[in-house]
Each structure stands twice: as C-alpha cells, then as structure tokens.
Amino acid sequence: MRPLLSLFVGLLLCSSLHAETPVQRPQHALVASAHPAATVAGLETLAAGGNAFDAAVAVAAALAVAEPYGSGLGGGGFFLLREAGTTPRYRFVDARERAPLKAHASMYATPGKAGQAPSLDGALAAAIPGLPAALAHLSQRYGKLALRDSLYPAQRLARDGIGIDALYRERVSWRLKAMQADPETARIFLSDNQAPAEHSLLRQPELASTLQRLADHGHAGFYSGRTADLLVRAVQAAGGIWTHKDLTDYRVIERQPLRAKLQDGRELITAPPPSAGGVALIQSLAMLQQLNWRKADTLTRDHLVIESLRRAYRDRGLLGDPDQVRNPLASLLAPAYLQQLARSIDRQKATPSSSLPPATAWHEGQHTTHFTVIDQAGNAVSATLSINLPFGAAFTAKGSGVLLNNEMDDFAKAVDEQNAYGLTGSQANLIAPGKRPLSSMTPSFVESAGELSSFGTPGGSRIPSMVLLGILEYLDGQPIERWATRPRFHHQYLPDVLEYEPATFSSQEKAGLLRLGHQLQSTNRRYGNLQVLRWNKQSGAVEGASDPRGLGRADTLALPPQ
C-alpha cells in the first residue's frame, strides 16, 4: 500500500507533481459562493474579461455587502491562489487581521460594561482589517481589470440594496442585543431595533461610498484619507485603541502554502499558519491512510476519523502567527511523528483526550464565509473570509458603513482561559502588538495531472473537520454533490465530546460509537457551508456544488476562445 503522505511534507518548494500542457483548459469558468448575488458578481466580472483573481475581488466585495454577518471590509481572510501554466504556481495571500499596536496580553483582564464582553462586542474587540488590502493586492498583482471594475457589482448592491433572507434574520437573532447596543449598527442592519422583515431591502450607501474610495485609490483609499479618518475617529470615540499608524502599516503577506503528496499522484495544497487548519488536515489524512480507512466498515471508518481529528486538534495550540512565533511544522509533519500518531489509535475503543500526552490547547473564533472560482485559463482561487462572530463586533464606524470584526477574541486572553467555544488559550497565540490571531480557515486544493478540486467552508473550529470530510468523499470517488451534502461530525480534542449534526448517525451507529467509548452530543442544527469545484483536465469539464445548508450558488460561464 502506498503511503498517503510522502517522506517530504510541509512547505514544498520543489517543482509541481503535475505539470500540464498548454492545451488543457476548462470548458467553462465557474463560481461557487455562499450567496447568489456574489456568484453573479463573479460571473459578471469574468464575462467583462476578468480572470479568476478579478472575479475573486468581485465575489469577496459582494459577500461583504450581501453577508454582513459573515465577512466584510471590516474583516479579513485567506486567499489560496493557483496561477495556470505548464507548471502551476500557488500563492497564499494572508489578509488576516492584526492586533492594534497598543494591544497587550492583559488588555481584557478588566471586564467591560455590564452584559458586554470587551473582546466580543464593541470597538475594543476589533483588530485591524485585512480584506480591503487583499482586494487591492489581488487586483494590482494578479488581475486583468481595473479595481473599480471588479468592485462595481458590490457598489451597486450596496447602493441599490440586497434582499433580507431567512439566514440574515437568523444571524441577527444570535447577536441582536449586541447590535442594539451600537446606534449605527442598529440604524443600518436592524429595522425598528429588530431584525428586518424578510424580503425587505438592506441599503448601505455609506459602504458604497467607502467601496468607491477603495476603487479610486486602491490600498490608500481605505487605509488613509477619509475612510481611515472615519474609522479611527469612531473606534477611539467608543473606547477602542486604533491609530492611523495601525491602518497605514497594514499589508497583506504572501506565504508559501503547505503542500503534501497524496496517494495516486495527487497533491494537497492548503493553508499555512496563521491558519492551524492546514496542519490538522495533513495530519488527519496521513493517519487515515496509514490506518487503511477505505477498507473499514462505516462504524470503524467514522471512529478512525474521530480519533485522527482528536490528535490533530491536540497539536494546534502549538501554532501561532509565523511572523512572531516559531511554528514547529517540521516536527508536526514529520513522517515518524505521523506514524506514531496513527499507531496510538485503537480501532476497538476511543482514546480519552485526558490520556494523551499533554499539549497546550488553543483558541478560535467562529463565523466565516467561503467561495471558489476557476476561469477558462485554469487560474483558480479558494478563499475563506471572516469577521468572527456573526456581525463581528456589532460596531459600525459612523459614516463609513464598515462593520468591524471581533477577531481580537481569536487570541488567547490567557493560557488557561476558554473562549466562547470552549477552546482554551495557548502561549503561541497570546495577544501582542501587530500580531495576527490563529485561525481555522482552511481553503484547499487537491490537484493531480488529471484534475483539480477545491474545498472550503465557514464554521470556526469545525472548518478543518468539514474540509476533511469533504476531501474523504472526493478520495472515496463520490459525486461532487456528496462532498458538500455529507452529514457532519466533529471532534476537537477538548472538550472531549463528539459533536454531530442531526441525522448524521443511525441509532445503530450511535450505539456502536457509545460502545467504543465516544461521548456524543448533537448540535441540534446543521452547520457549515462548503463550496467546492472540480475540473477534469482530460475532458475539460468543470462542475461545482454549493452546500444546501446555506443559500449559496454554483454556476458556470462559457466564454468564446480568446
């Protein structure tokens, strides 16, 4: 049996495993995103002559307007890029938010106002946004169109309005009290201080003006000038610690993706730190292959996935911002270590997390969005964006329309303190000036000489487990719709419980998992919003799927040969 991962994993700077000939082109371009309006914005940009990177700008900006609960100009994210060619090139654009320069490890030691968590609600919870810088960077360095052209669909949506749907109203219900506490947020995103009626219009004229300044002046149109003045003035007036230097100093960072050789000539290209998800994904896949998961019955297969996730999540507390802490990637991805992890899994019983050798746990946030794009040249983008909790910090900078993130809660406020999701802190992820918080966002490609597939989802700490389950469906030869619809379960080492969607397991399977020693806990709702695509390089066929748990849409576009 061939090992899933070769002896060389981690940052592969060597030549690609899957050189292709220039004649291999997709028959169609494709966009799959979490909102139909964003998918249309991407297709519109492709039809106007843009490439996948222009379309990614259009989709990300449109999501900022249409899904203010999931992403926005006040947030950040990760963009995994594939540049087409005889030997494809990959880039990872890190647009993760940064802690303000006045931030410090004990800044949340003093409680906030009654009923308010200062790392979750209000101006002090906001890190410096990265998404606007990413949009300008992608357009300038990789795009074919002017930034103003790629941003126009989002400006139009902000000006003319976007329909309120059931998902928007549900997200409001989760954060209503915090949103009511900020007059500007309540004015824009609520109606009479309550969730707007379904099918009413959300208009954001101030955000349209902010997008126009970004379109006209690129990076400087957000991080200096009028927009910066509005942001800093509002944050400081509300007790935050932003300065103009925080904004003018912000830059995206291009990093090398993590790459690992898979079985059958495939290669995984995934997110490096400050994402912890790529490491967990590589580790989990390595363990499962060594355990010959595809030969197992359904119950044993699920058990092996759970035990692999338990061990992979255990290691995530060792990771942090690579510009400020040393990430032990070579050790965590070493073949001998991965074999040791696999050998520690008992096929007949669950391993209590407390019995594993101790490791520092970690801290993570929650709400995100994801999209994926491919053009007819074979350029592709897999991007995951976030403002953390739904509607971020529930604080909008007056006059800008920019709803700010609460990503400061993704830092560890103390090594032994849990966040809102039961995840405890780590030394590597403590708050420091200018630092990027650890994230679970895991945009990923799997590529071979014959095909390219893309995976990604929102879902906070559950992101790596969802991406893993989608990739396992792909490796098992299942149709693309199954990658996105597959019932989900999750284990993150601590707390030592197996979370699962309703209807994931039959009564017989639940009984079997209990006999193996797993502690089961239903989420009582479905979660995640996986967006996937596949390009068959032999036939040229392109197909995509958008998770039916959300409102998203995957559509293709055929353009005449150029």
**C-beta separation of 390 from 69 below 8 A:** yes
Q: 164 among the known binding-site residues? A: no
Interatomic CA distance for residues 390 and 67, integer angstroms = 9
DSSP string for residues in 148-204:
HHHHHHHHHHHHH-EE--HHHHHHHHHHHHHHHTSHHHHHHH-BTTBPPPTT-EE--
Helices (H) and strands (E) in the chain, counts: 17, 21
Say which amino acid occupies 378: G
Interatomic CA distance for residues 63 and 42, integer angstroms = 11
**Strand bridging mode 444-447 / 451-455:** antiparallel
In the residue annotation, 368 being an active-site residue is answered as yes
Of the CA atoms within 13 Å of residue 351, those in its CB half-sphere come to 24
Q: 171 among the known binding-site residues? A: no
Which whole-number Å values give the CA distances from 103 to 243, 386, 406, in the listed order? 11, 21, 14
Cross-strand bridge partners of residue 89: 83
**Strand bridging mode 29-33 / 367-374:** antiparallel
Interatomic CA distance for residues 42 and 381, integer angstroms = 12
Interatomic CA distance for residues 470 and 487, integer angstroms = 10
Q: 388 among the known binding-site residues? A: yes
Q: 439 among the known binding-site residues? A: yes
Of the CA atoms within 13 Å of residue 155, those in its CB half-sphere come to 15
Interatomic CA distance for residues 431 and 414, integer angstroms = 9
Considering the candidates 45, 360, 368, 384, report the single residue annotated as catalytic. 368
3-class SS at 517? coil
Q: 440 among the known binding-site residues? A: yes
Distance of CA 227 to the CA centre of its chain: 26
**C-beta separation of 71 from 60 below 8 A:** yes
Say which amino acid occupies 15: S
Interatomic CA distance for residues 418 and 544, integer angstroms = 38
CB atoms within 10 A of CB 183: 11
Which whole-number Å values give the CA distances from 146 to 93, 211, 350, in the listed order? 19, 14, 55
Q: 302 among the known binding-site residues? A: no
Q: 353 among the known binding-site residues? A: no
Residue of 335, 337, 361, 371 whose CA lies nearest to 458: 371
DSSP at 439 = B
Give the chain's length.
Answer: 562
Interatomic CA distance for residues 466 and 229, integer angstroms = 40
Q: 460 among the known binding-site residues? A: yes
Question: 403 Cβ partners below 8 Å, 6+ apart?
Answer: 68, 72, 74, 185, 188, 189, 387, 391, 392, 393, 394, 395, 396
Interatomic CA distance for residues 237 and 397, integer angstroms = 10
**Residues annotated catalytic, as ranges:** 368
Q: Which residues define the annotated binding site?
A: 96, 386-388, 410, 439-440, 460
Annotated binding site for L-glutamate: 96, 386-388, 410, 439-440, 460
